[in-house]
Structure 1
């Protein structure tokens, strides 16, 4: 039986694929726990300098597999689903000191949409869509949807999308600032690969400090953020990649960063 999460590492990029296409890559317990393990493996693997999260088949991820929560024998309950499945996935994505791209190839609904929005860079195929589907079944947005969505698109739009559950296509998602950009379905895979390889060739430690600073900016005051920037900038200036970047600039050549 094929695994519900697949991973391939090439050119210093970990391509992580949600692999339940018959269920539109909706999460069950097995897939949620396996994704956590896969992210942990990427944290420990020094070869990996960037990650891409994608879905197999027509969908990115349809959120929770409702068949699991309506099965009286297998239903783990919402407390376990949130505390053991989705919340640990979100915290891993935000805390991993490597850039994470969400490559949204199709529908991203419910927790699937919010896991994508928690990534560092979200790109989508023109045929993709994003749906805060929770209200349609009497639930609230989880997987940090109430945290990231208003910060990305503003309170009013986030409130409307969370309550109404409207479908947002890739073009509109880019326009409102929900995602970075979208690509044609024909060039999507090539563009995602190009972006991922670009990130994997950049100064990894500086990107990690950038990510940590952005995380802290969610609650820091201006003074606290300025102090943090100073701390991280001083640390970045001690890296070999900084020395390489400056040397390459002076020598008028392209830098070769090693993530050190």
Structure 2
């Protein structure tokens, strides 16, 4: 299979990587091949010390319409089919969440089911006007995967999360912004530009600071106050000993922009 026909594609341009969901004819629905491809891509990015920001986007008319329902419909053993799909995509989500780089979801069209779960698992999210969000799992008689049940209540609270998941009503991009499901609402066909602007701002910042902020925020729900204070102290002291902190201090007092290096 040539790269252009792979179910997920990775391109790297300097310090910014782009991960593209590449099943546009199937509305980028996740199948086993895409799950494995995403897992392998995020594993590769985890070892990349040059990339500082990752943009996750979908080819074609939508970001992602969810899981591949035809895959399940045709499976004689649906339990085995579910395991075969969920294992690699859950590995992919776990890898993405733990990447040292900041992941920005670039959303358009439909963001449904596993697509919504994947978008919520990213660190930041941009959507164009007209984007429609729907958890959708209840519509096909099942429950969330891809960390949807973990991310949604953390973003919107348990009561609102239950409403969104149980009723599976469409949410507009404006509603998603109000709920905190996305960070930016872009004009039509400008979501790529807005996501790139965010990525460039991340790349221009201290790599250690970006990585530590992501790590601290993501682990905070699992720590008590004492544990989080210890984690903050360790991260701050370690970063303070690095050259980028010294560069930031000098730039501040010299009234210039700092020049950061490394990851």
Pairwise mapping of residues 89-100 of structure 1 onto structure 2 (< 5 A)? 89-100=92-103
Please state if 1:120 is matched with 2:105.
no
RMSD: 1.5
The runs of 4+ residues in structure 1 deviating greater than 3 Å are 73-76
Where in structure 1 are there 5+ consecutive unaligned residues?
A: none
1:81 match: 85
Please state if 1:111 is matched with 2:96.
no
Where in structure 2 are there 5+ consecutive unaligned residues?
A: none
TM-score of the aligned structures, taking structure 2 as reference length:
0.94
TM-score of the aligned structures, taking structure 1 as reference length:
0.95
Greater alpha carbon shift after TM alignment, 84-93 vs 53-62: 84-93
Please state if 1:178 is matched with 2:175.
no
Greater alpha carbon shift after TM alignment, 200-209 vs 47-56: 200-209
2:197 match: 194
Asked if 2 retains the 8 angstrom alpha-carbon contact of 1:68 and 1:74, the reply is no
CA distance in structure 2 between the aligned counterparts of 1:223 and 1:180, rounded to whole angstroms: 30
Greater alpha carbon shift after TM alignment, 21-30 vs 203-212: 203-212
**Shift of the alpha carbon at 1:95?**
0.7
CA distance in structure 1 between the aligned counterparts of 2:8 and 2:148, rounded to whole angstroms: 23
**Shift of the alpha carbon at 1:38?**
1.1
Please state if 1:230 is matched with 2:214.
no
CA distance in structure 2 between the aligned counterparts of 1:106 and 1:250, rounded to whole angstroms: 46
Asked if 2 retains the 8 angstrom alpha-carbon contact of 1:12 and 1:50, the reply is yes
Asked if 2 retains the 8 angstrom alpha-carbon contact of 1:17 and 1:56, the reply is yes
Pairwise mapping of residues 1-260 of structure 1 onto structure 2 (< 5 A)? 2-72=5-75, 76-82=80-86, 84-260=87-263
